[in-house]
Amino acid sequence: MLTEDEKLLQSPKDDMGAFTRSDPWRVMRITSEFVEGFDALSEIHKGVTIFGSARTGPDDPQYVAAQETARLLALQGFSIITGAGPGIMEAANKGAKQGGGHSVGCNIELPFEQGANPYVDTLVNFRYFFVRKTMFIKYSNAFIIFPGGFGTLDELFEALTLIQTGKIYQFPVILFGRHYWAGLVRWITSRLVGEGKISPGDLDLLLLTDDPAEAAQAVIDAHGAQIAAKSDKMNPG
């Protein structure tokens, strides 16, 4: 069965004449999905999205670390947002519940079945990846990136691009697991910086840590800076 994302990205076909199978019709569905997401998440003003592999088991140290990081942030009033699935996502939603915080899951339609983990308070289902990704950015004050695969890397580089191009500000991107990310950071340093593809200062957009407390404190500090920056804009001089 084709997902809605797959249908959208197909080249136009000769048999697409019926309006309900056409791209203009899909634009209406996309709009309704944005509206649903905005409505469901509109009360989140302190949010952190935690990414990582769906394949990480409960006995993995990274699962335990994600759970503790989310718990610490929930205690400070942050909503914890994930992709709603298993693995690191489940760990983060579980930590949010343990910290008495708001646990949010933004689920995505996939060719294979992915249900929401049992620790989600507010669940929003999406058909389109780009709508879901907008929600992650819009309602987050920071991203914490645990070890993961292509999807995790996609979210990482999307956030870095938005920061580098000035679309979002004071937005920490925290890489959790120094050993896991070390090779990527070395490559970024030697190739991207070394060959002038990015500026040396762009490396400062990343924070590497193995400590849940350090990760949580970085988010808390950044949120304070975000509040101060907004206050300065509203009260110049």
Task: Provide the pLDDT for residue 16.
Answer: 52
Q: Which helix (H) or strand (E) holds 108?
A: strand 103-108
**What is the model's pTM?**
0.88
Task: Provide the pLDDT for residue 110.
Answer: 79
Look at the chain and count its residues: 237
pLDDT exceeding 70 applies to what percent of the chain?
88
Task: Provide the pLDDT for residue 194.
Answer: 97
Task: Provide the pLDDT for residue 235.
Answer: 73
Residues of the chain scoring pLDDT < 50: none
Closest by CA to 220, choosing from 160, 172, 163, 153, is 172
